[in-house]
Amino acid sequence: MSATTTPPELTEPAGSSWTATVTAPRRGGDRWFGLASHGAGVAVVALVTLVGVFLVSQAIPALSKNEANFLTSREWSVGGDNPRFGILEMLWTTTTASIIAMAIAVPIGVCVALFITEYAPQWLRRPAATLVDLLAAVPSIVYGLWGLIIFRPVVRPLEDWLSTRLGWLPLFAPTGITGGTIMFIGVVLAIMILPIVTAISREVFAQTPTTHKEGALALGATRWEMIRTAVLPFGKPGVISAAMLALGRALGETIAVTFIVSTLAAGSDWTWSMLSGGETFASRIANNAAEFDSPQKTGAFIAAGLVLFILTFVVNAIARVVIERRKAFTE
C-alpha cells in the first residue's frame, strides 16, 4: 500500500480521546470471549479427568471382589458371589493381532508413501493419495462384514497350508479354529491401519529438504539410493510415530474385530498359535454389552477397558514423544 492511500481514519480526530471511545466499550466482549475459550479448555481437562476417575471408581469394587489374579488369569466369569476374571488371554490376542497388523502395514504403508511422493508420475500423485485416504473413509463395520463374509474364505486355505507346512512351529500349530483366527484379525487390522501409516509417512517424506535429495542425485545416486540416503533417514521419526499411532488404533479397534473373532470356550488349553481364536479387550466388551446388568459385572468389563486405555495411552505417548523430538530437530 502506498503512502498516498493511508486511510484517514488512522489519524486521531481532534478533541477526542482515542482510548475512551474505541477501546473501553469493547473490553467487555474481550473478557467474555477470553472466559469462553478458557472455559472450553478447562472443560476438556475436566472431561478427561472425569473419564479416568469414573472408570477407576467403577472398576475398583469389582476388582476387589475378584478371586483370581486380574493380570495372569485366563478365566472370565464376572457374575455371582465368587467372580473370577483375568485379562491374560485378551492381552495376548490384542497385542499379537496388533503386532501382526503392524508387521504387514508398516512396510507396505511406507512403500506406498514413497510411491506417492517419489515414484508416481505427477498426474497420479494426488489421485493415488486420495484413493489410499478412501480406505480410511470406509467405516470399520464394513471392514468387519467384508472380512467375515468375503475375505475369510479366501484366507482360510492359506492358513491351512501354513499349519500343515509349518505346524511344527508353536506359532503355526493347528488348532481346528475355522472362524477368525488371530492371524486373520491381524491381516484385516493391517488393511484398516494402512491409510494411517501412509498418510503420516507421506507427509514427512514430502518435507525432505530438496537440497538433500538433489545432493544425493548430483553425486550419481540412483533414485533408490537417494531415498535410502536422504529421504528415509529424514523421515524415520515420522514413520515411527506413524507406526505408533496406527498401533494405538489397532489395539482399540472394536467392531471389525468383534465381527470376525472366534470366541474360545472357557477352560480351553493355552496355545501360542496364531491360528487360534480368542477375544481382544474391545471385542469382549462389545460382545458382552448385554451383560452389563449389575455394577459388579460392569465393573469387571470397565477394568478390562481401563487396561486397554492404558495400553493405547502408552503407545500414543511414545508416538508423541517421537514427534516432539523431531520437531525440536527440524525447527
Partner 1 sequence: MSATSAAETAEARGTPLSRLVAARRAAYRADVVTDDPPQLTRGSASRRLTDQVARVVMWASFGLAMVPLVWILGTVVARGYELLLASSWWTLSQRNINAADVGGGAVHAIQGTLIQAAVTAAISVPLGIFTAIYLVEYGRGRLARAVSFMVDILSGVPSIVAALFVYAVWVTTFGFQRIGFAVCLSLVLLMIPVVVRSTEEMLKLVPNGLREGSYALGVPKWITITRIVLPTAFSGIVTGVMLGLARVMGETAPLLILGPYTKSIATNLFDGYMPTLPTMINQDRTEIGLDSAMERMWAAALTLILIVLALNLVGRWAARRSSVRR
Site for partner 1 in 195-224 (CB under 8 A): 198, 209, 211-212, 215-216, 219-224
Rounded distance between C-alpha atoms, residue 164 and residue 5, angstroms:
84
Q: Is 324 in the site for partner 1 (CB under 8 A)?
A: no
Burial of 173 (0-12, 13-18, 19+ CB in 10 A): middle
Q: How far apart are CA 74 and CA 127, in angstroms?
A: 48
Question: Who contacts 275 (Cβ-Cβ below 8 Å, separation ≥6)?
Answer: 159, 162, 163, 172, 173, 174, 175, 177, 181, 182, 183
Asked if 292 touches partner 1 (CB under 8 A), the answer is: yes
Stretch that binds partner 1, among 69-77, 166-174, 271-279, 285-293 (CB under 8 A): 285-293
When asked if residue 137 is in the footprint of partner 1 (CB under 8 A), the reply is yes
Of 44 and 169, CB closest to partner 1: 44
**CB of residue 86 to partner 1, shortest distance in Å:** 18
Interaction between residue 143 and partner 1 (CB under 8 A)? yes
Site for partner 1 in 249-278 (CB under 8 A): 251-255, 258-259
CB of 161 to partner 1, least distance (A): 20
What is the C-alpha separation between 231 and 296, in angstroms, rounded? 53
Burial bucket for residue 22 (CB in 10 Å: 0-12, 13-18, 19+): exposed
Q: Which is nearer to partner 1, 35 or 166 (CB)?
A: 35
CB-nearer residue toward partner 1: 82 or 222: 222
Of 146, 167, 171, 173, the residue at the interface with partner 1 (CB under 8 A) is: 146
Q: Which of residues 225-254 bind partner 1 (CB under 8 A)?
A: 225, 227-230, 233, 248, 251-254
- Residues 22-41, interacting with partner 1 (CB under 8 A): 22-23, 26-27, 29-30, 32-34, 36-41
Give bridge partners of residue 76 from the DSSP assignment: 85
**Hey, which residues between 117 and 136 contact partner 1 (CB under 8 A)?**
118-120, 128, 130-135
Q: How many residues bind partner 1 (CB under 8 A)?
A: 109
In this structure, what C-alpha cell is assigned to residue 168? 511344527
Classify residue 321 as exposed, middle or buried by CB count within 10 Å of its CB (0-12, 13-18, 19+).
middle
Query: Between residue 92 and residue 121, which ones bind partner 1 under the rule CB under 8 A?
Result: 108-109, 111-112, 114-116, 118-120
Element (H, E) at 283: helix 281-287
77 forms beta bridges with 84
Give the nearest distance from C-beta 100 to partner 1 in angstroms: 16
